[in-house]
């Protein structure tokens, strides 16, 4: 497999104020990429610039849930760096569903933050990637996209939609030479997962996740999933008969 080192490439990372996005931005800089880091919260971005150096990382604040803001950020990237080679669309959130208080607003917020924000980002970056000699589109999904899990109706639906979107785009963009990767992590220690109230097997640190993601980008992997002992086991579970899978997952449901 031909490798495409990130050294010297221009990379946009969304959701870079904390967690996986921040760790990916730092790892990319460490490997020689020029990074454009975006998030709604400007203060953490300024700290990131101080940490990585303004010559290697630029902060472009952006609310990715706003399509106009995405296009504005893309224009700023072109103005500052002349173009873009890799887009790592990572921004997102997580809300869980309580079926005894089923609320459609949770789905609206989650789909807007996770799925639609990625659609807006793709709309903004595709014209830039078409001009790159080595274009790569990377989107953050989740292992939860593989199959249904309790309380994950909204979050899982948004991540499954992302996975399907990117897998379809991979086909349509193949003739243009644009590589498309979908990232499906298991549990990673971030401010979002710190709020979880259930066991998280094989949870890894954000820095470890970032190394695996950038390794996958450089290898041009179609799917970047980790940690393997969790993601592969989960994939195998989805092959079980539906009734058996249902009984196993039902044990995870909390009693009211």
CATH code of the domain in which 168 resides: 3.40.50.720
How high is the pLDDT of residue 221?
97
How high is the pLDDT of residue 107?
94
SS3 content of the chain, % helix, strand, coil (to 5): 50, 15, 35
Residue 172 counted as domain residue: yes
Interacting residues of 115 by C-beta distance below 8 A, sequence separation 6+: 158, 161, 162, 165
Question: How far apart, in whole angstroms, are the C-alpha atoms of residue 201 and residue 117?
Answer: 29
Sign of the CA dihedral 213, 71, 126, 158? positive
Q: Which tokens is 61 given?
A: 């604040």
Structural domains counted in the chain: 1
Residue 220 counted as domain residue: yes
Residue 256 counted as domain residue: no
242: containing domain: 10-250
Residue 255 counted as domain residue: no
Q: Is position 174 annotated as part of the catalytic site?
A: no
How high is the pLDDT of residue 201?
72
User: Across-strand partners of 251?
Assistant: none
- Residue 58 backbone dihedrals phi, psi, to 5 degrees: -120, 140
Q: Which residues of the chain have pLDDT under 50?
A: 255-256
Residue 1 counted as domain residue: no
Report the interhelical angle of 206-219 vs 19-30 (nearest 10°). 60
Question: What dihedral angle (degrees, nearest 10) is formed by the CA atoms of 143, 148, 153, 157?
Answer: 60
> 227: closest CA among 204, 200, 211, 193?
204
Helix (H) or strand (E) holding 88: strand 86-89
Q: Which of 155, 164, 174, 245 is catalytic?
A: 155
Interacting residues of 199 by C-beta distance below 8 A, sequence separation 6+: none
How high is the pLDDT of residue 198?
67
Sign of the CA dihedral 76, 78, 80, 81? positive
Question: How far apart, in whole angstroms, are the C-alpha atoms of residue 147 and residue 160?
Answer: 9
Interacting residues of 222 by C-beta distance below 8 A, sequence separation 6+: 170, 180, 181, 182
Tell me the pTM. 0.92
Question: How far apart, in whole angstroms, are the C-alpha atoms of residue 201 and residue 233?
Answer: 11
């Amino acid at each position: 497999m031909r490798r495409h080192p990130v050294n010297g490439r221009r990379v946009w990372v969304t959701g870079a104020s904390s967690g996986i996005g921040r760790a990916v931005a730092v790892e990319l800089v460490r490997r020689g990429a020029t990074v454009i880091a975006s998030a709604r919260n400007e203060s953490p971005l300024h700290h990131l610039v101080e940490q990585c150096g303004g010559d290697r990382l630029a902060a472009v604040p952006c609310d990715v849930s706003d399509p106009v803001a995405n296009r504005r950020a893309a224009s700023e990237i072109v103005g500052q760096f002349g173009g873009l080679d890799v887009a790592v669309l990572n921004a997102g959130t997580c809300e869980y569903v309580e079926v005894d208080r089923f609320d459609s607003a949770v789905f609206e917020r989650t789909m807007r933050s996770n799925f639609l924000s990625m659609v807006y980002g793709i709309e903004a970056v595709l014209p830039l990637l078409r001009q790159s000699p080595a274009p790569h589109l990377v989107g953050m999904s989740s292992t939860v996209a593989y199959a249904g899990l309790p309380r994950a109706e909204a979050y899982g639906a948004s991540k499954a939609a992302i996975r399907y979107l990117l897998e379809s785009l991979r086909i349509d963009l193949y003739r243009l030479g644009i590589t498309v990767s979908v990232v499906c992590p298991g549990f990673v220690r971030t401010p979002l997962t710190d709020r979880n109230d259930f066991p998280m097997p094989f949870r890894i640190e954000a820095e470890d996740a970032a190394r695996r993601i950038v390794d996958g980008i450089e290898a041009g992997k179609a799917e970047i999933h980790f940690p393997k002992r969790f993601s592969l086991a989960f994939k195998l579970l989805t092959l079980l008969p539906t009734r058996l899978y249902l009984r196993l997952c039902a044990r995870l449901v909390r009693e009211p």
